[in-house]
A and B are shown apart, each in its own frame.
Chain A
Amino acid sequence: MWDWRFLGLLVFSSTVDYVLGRAIGNTGEDKKVQRKSLLALSLIINLGILGFFKYANFFIDSIDGLFTFFGTELHISTLNIILPVGISFYTFQSLSYIIDVYRRKIEPSKDIIAFLTFISFFPQLVAGPIERASHLLPQFNDLKKFDYARAREGIVEIFIGLVKKMVIADRLAVYVDSVFLTASGQNRGEIQGLPSVLGLIFFAFQLYIDFSAYSQIAVGTAKILGFNLSTNFRRPYLSRSFNNFWERWHISLSQWMRDYIFIPLGGSREGRVRTVRNLLIVFAVSGLWHGASWNFVIWGIINGLFVIILDPLLARLKIKGFPASVVVFVMWTLSLAFFRAEGLDAALGMICGAGFGNAGSVLDFGLGGNELAFSLAMLAALMCFEYVSENLERKGKNILDMLVFSRPAWLRWSIYMVMVFTVILFGVYATNNDNSFIYFQF
């Protein structure tokens, strides 16, 4: 949630990291304890703030629940805390900086304005990509020159993001919200068969399209301003394994987890058991990063288990290509029931209720026949676009260059107009729905 007072929080944690980064940089290798203390101080402050604002109530509830389980009623009341917008993202960005300075991978920033801008860079502040200082920080020192071609590319990326968000994701959201609301309510019995399947599949696509659209808008906006942001999604639903999936989904977070948790824990170099342990820790933390709830932790652990168990199984059974993509997508989609549902009962209800019966009630969840057909057509079109794009990329070609930028002016302009009117005429707006980006809540 946004409140101007949270600006103080952002300035405080950034300034602390700037000062501590300089201090770590100025401390020689011989003063290891001092360097470690400074790093620890930064970690305590950053994770303390994140922990308080995001996890305080979760821990209170969990402790209360634990004591209740053992027969002691504590009745601890939860705190009235508002989650500052973007806190999970900018805290991780700030942490990556301080750890990289500690590891001497980068020099500490000497320019406080550049550093504060790096932490609060508006296109990606709210929902990433989580940038590394080594990638983004030096860009603030370059003299920016207006580049027409880049700006044009940025604008087209923004429009593609808007089409994805407003035309596809927000329409799927109508169905998903209705299905999951019913699943967590008294009429959960209605979520049987096809509505459950559609609800889960639509949520898998909504989540991907919504988040990747935001990333695309962020990348496009930064591009117009002359900055390069990291790619956050690389067609994850074409993945052939779970390992591959996490190389394509929310890439900036996956890489963060790899570099700052998985590898320091020992990575995959210390035997099978250690690797499994490390993976489960990483995925549990990743789940917890998404939200302060056991649902997210379970979702994270399930995905860890997919990597640990299903990837070797796919390899052993020699399931490759399209069938492997289908397996990955189906299992991922089922895991998302825990991500989206209110409570474990609702999540399990969604999974257990999935099937192909109850087709008659498919249209009872907010989307009429026309809109449902349109949504399915848009999803098919999107997957075809991604498939072609993937194949072209292997050949070193860019689909946007081929479809748009290399075309004659009249065709380019027609495409621009089609994009504008696709948003105006087919976008979901002027409704009572809350159309915020999903990842804003993290």
Chain B
Amino acid sequence: MGVRKKQKRARAVSFKALLARGAVLAAMAVCIIAVLENKRIFVEDSANNHEEWKWDWYYRLKQYNIPVDVLFVGNSHLLTGINPYVFTEKTGLYCFLLGASGVGVADLYFTIEEAVKVQKPKVIVLETYAINDDEPYRLEKGKLNDQINSFRARRDTWLKIQSTFSLFDYHNVPIAWCETFRNHNYIFTKPDQLMRNLKGEGPRRRVRNDIYLGQFARFSKGLSPQTLGRYESEGAPVDGEKYEISKSSVKYVGKIARLCRENGIQLVFLTVPMYRGHVENYQVWHDRLAAHISPLSPYWLDLQALQLTDAGLGEVYGPAAFQDTYSANQHLTNYGMAVTAGVFAQYLDRIMPSLPDRRGERRWQDFVARFPR
């Protein structure tokens, strides 16, 4: 063998050795992280793990052979906007609310994709507030946490892998997948929690055994006279002129529509209202949204628009129906979510009279009888 050839081989071996050693070191690090993850060392106690409850109960319904007829999907506006128990009782259908606070339509697409693998609902109702969200990979920093919570709660690992780079910028991927990366600062900020977890006494998670259909009953107090006064003196905090639909929204709403079509599911859009004085120039908002979603489904119940034009509805959606806030994100109160469930139940009955009425079924009656009162 020539000297050059020998030198070349020595270099090749040397480079391979570096790669091999790097790989061994990386594998050792991954193993240690896997142990930390498995023992949930960097997970906090939680009594309100809504995202986990939701998927837990969605899968449980499958296990109990209870079909989900109507699947509502959306962000916090939906979760605080529809009372699923009222809706179930009014329609004789089984329903469920999926989604998470703060997420955009890209996340909802993957939520729906997992949901239809588990159950085949007859109707999917997409609440429109999530549609105007920004590009998913450019999440506002405050929303990243919500996005991660939603992502981590999903159970289909393969789908999670597929959706990772659609939902997260590359440098947020490790945080999305790994609690050790995400919560490593507990070393300084929550040492007690860490010690409990290391001793095997944590993290404590609350499991819900009462029937949970995904709602987020959060606001009991309606608009106060002070806030109503601000509408008078300062005008509306939200301007429909500023409403814009991002490219990713166009893409993912289209994908949701296609997914529904492929699975024989009827897609319905729902706009849960904010207080009538909360939004100005709503017609602009409505028109922009209509141009986007009308070609995808003939059904859209826009309660924001309807409460302005329908006097009866406007009366029902009085100050008691809305969260007492002047900030841009206004949600419905518990009363408001019950009202919306009733209004949407009537709407669905009108547009799809062929949906089953299960009120005569013993299983449905037993199910409803176990609702939390």
Interface residues of chain A, those whose CB is within 8 Å of chain B, are 145-148, 151-152, 155, 368, 370-371, 374, 413, 416-417, 420-421, 424-432
CB-CB under 8 A for A374 and B188, given A148-B17, A417-B28, A421-B32:
yes
What are 11 sample pairs from A and B whose C-beta atoms fall under 8 A apart?
Answer: A146-B11, A146-B14, A147-B14, A148-B17, A151-B18, A368-B188, A417-B25, A417-B28, A417-B32, A424-B29, A424-B184
How does the 8 Å CB contact mask read for B164-180 relative to A, with 1 for contact and 0 for none? 00000000000100001
Q: Closest approach, in angstroms, between the C-beta of A210 and any C-beta of chain B?
A: 18
* Residues B136-151 near A (CB distance < 8 A): 141-142
How far is it, in angstroms, between the C-alpha of A421 and the C-alpha of B33 when the chains are bound?
9
Since A148-B14, A421-B29 are in contact, a sample of 17 more A-B pairs with Cβ atoms closer than 8 Å, ordered by chain A residue number, is: A145-B11, A147-B14, A148-B18, A155-B22, A370-B187, A416-B25, A420-B25, A420-B29, A424-B33, A424-B180, A424-B181, A424-B184, A428-B185, A429-B181, A430-B183, A430-B185, A432-B141
CB atoms of B175 and A430 under 8 A apart: yes
Number of interface residues of B (CB under 8 A): 24
Tell me which residues across on chain B come within 8 A of A155, comparing CB atoms.
22
Tell yes or no: B189 within 8 A of A by CB.
yes
CB atoms of B181 and A368 under 8 A apart: no
Tell me which residues across on chain A come within 8 A of B182, comparing CB atoms.
430
Tell me which residues across on chain A come within 8 A of B356, comparing CB atoms.
none
How far is it, in angstroms, between the C-alpha of A147 and the C-alpha of B10 when the chains are bound?
10
Closest to A433 in B: B141
Tell yes or no: B277 within 8 A of A by CB.
no
Pick the most buried of B33, B183, B185: most chain A CB atoms within 10 A of its CB. B185
A interface majority secondary structure: helix
CB atoms of A417 and B29 under 8 A apart: yes
Tell me which residues across on chain A come within 8 A of B14, comparing CB atoms.
146-148
Pick the most buried of B142, B187, B188, B191: most chain A CB atoms within 10 A of its CB. B188
How far is it, in angstroms, between the C-alpha of A254 and the C-alpha of B18 when the chains are bound?
37
Specify which of A374, A413, A427 is in contact with B184 (CB 8 Å cutoff): A427
Q: Closest approach, in angstroms, between the C-beta of B139 and any C-beta of chain A?
A: 11
Tell me which residues across on chain B come within 8 A of A430, comparing CB atoms.
175, 181-185
Tell yes or no: B15 within 8 A of A by CB.
yes
Tell me which residues across on chain A come within 8 A of B28, comparing CB atoms.
417
How far is it, in angstroms, between the C-alpha of A146 and the C-alpha of B12 when the chains are bound?
8
Tell me which residues across on chain A come within 8 A of B189, comparing CB atoms.
368, 370
How far is it, in angstroms, between the C-alpha of A6 and the C-alpha of B94 when the chains are bound?
57
* Residues B1-44 near A (CB distance < 8 A): 11, 14-15, 17-18, 22, 25, 28-29, 32-33
Tell me which residues across on chain A come within 8 A of B17, comparing CB atoms.
148
Q: Closest approach, in angstroms, between the C-beta of A431 and any C-beta of chain B?
A: 8
CB-CB under 8 A for A146 and B188, given A413-B25, A417-B25, A417-B28:
no
Q: Closest approach, in angstroms, between the C-beta of B351 and any C-beta of chain A?
A: 44
Q: Closest approach, in angstroms, between the C-beta of B176 and any C-beta of chain A?
A: 10
